[in-house]
């Protein structure tokens, strides 16, 4: 049986340190390859991947955490339809960047992801047979049924 280790929750002090490093000290400019690895060196109880996730989902200034509006939902569906990679890979970072450029608002990674996977689950539940669909097949179902994207 594998041992499950629970990583520590972020403290206010740790969050303030991350904000200080990223905003005031400019770690994104100082360490463009991976500023979060530099932060991990100072607060090693948090892995760089978790620090990055906390930054992009909660701490980054200007994050818009409101639900997606209709235009953003349509953008997500059309972007995935146009950019779906081999093996049905979705490059979420690229989608987030293009959404920021298109709508001039910064979104946490999870908002479009949660929208997409919820939409996918709803569509799959509407299909009466148990056939497994690829994301591309799901996208093809969206075009004739725009009311499903709401």
Same domain, 79 and 54: no
What single-letter DSSP state applies at residue 32? S
The answer as to whether 135 is a domain residue is yes
The answer as to whether 44 is a domain residue is yes
Residue 56 CA neighbour count, 13 Å, CB half = 18
Instruction: Name residue, tokens 């997606």.
Output: 68
> Each residue of 19-56: b (16+ CB within 10 Å) or e?
eebbeeeebeeeeeeebbebbbeebeebebeebbbbbb
Q: What φ, ψ does residue 63 adopt, rounded to 5°? A: -65, 135
Residues 20-71 pLDDT 10s: 999 999 998 899 899 999 999 999 999 999 999 999 899 999 999 999 999 9
Same domain, 95 and 131: yes
Residues 85-123 pLDDT 10s: 778 889 998 999 999 999 999 999 899 999 999 988 888
Residue 120 is predicted with a pLDDT of 85
Q: How many domains does the chain have?
A: 2
Full residue range of the structural domain in which residue 17 is found: 12-59
Same domain, 88 and 115: yes
The answer as to whether 111 is a domain residue is yes
The answer as to whether 95 is a domain residue is yes
Same domain, 40 and 90: no
Q: pTM of the full predicted structure? A: 0.70
């Amino acid at each position: 049986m594998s041992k499950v280790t629970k990583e520590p929750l972020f403290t206010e002090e740790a969050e303030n340190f991350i904000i200080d490093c990223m905003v005031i000290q400019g770690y994104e400019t100082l360490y463009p390859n991976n500023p979060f690895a530099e932060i991990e060196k100072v607060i090693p109880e948090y892995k760089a991947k978790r620090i990055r996730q906390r930054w992009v989902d909660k701490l980054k200034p200007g994050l818009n955490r409101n639900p997606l509006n209709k235009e953003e939902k349509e953008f997500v569906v059309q972007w995935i339809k146009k950019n779906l990679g081999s093996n049905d890979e979705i490059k979420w970072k690229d989608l987030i960047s293009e959404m920021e450029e298109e709508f001039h608002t910064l979104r946490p990674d999870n908002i479009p992801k949660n929208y997409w996977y919820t939409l996918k689950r709803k569509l799959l539940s509407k299909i009466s047979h148990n056939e497994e669909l690829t994301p591309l097949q799901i996208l093809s179902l969206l075009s004739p049924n725009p009311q499903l994207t709401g």
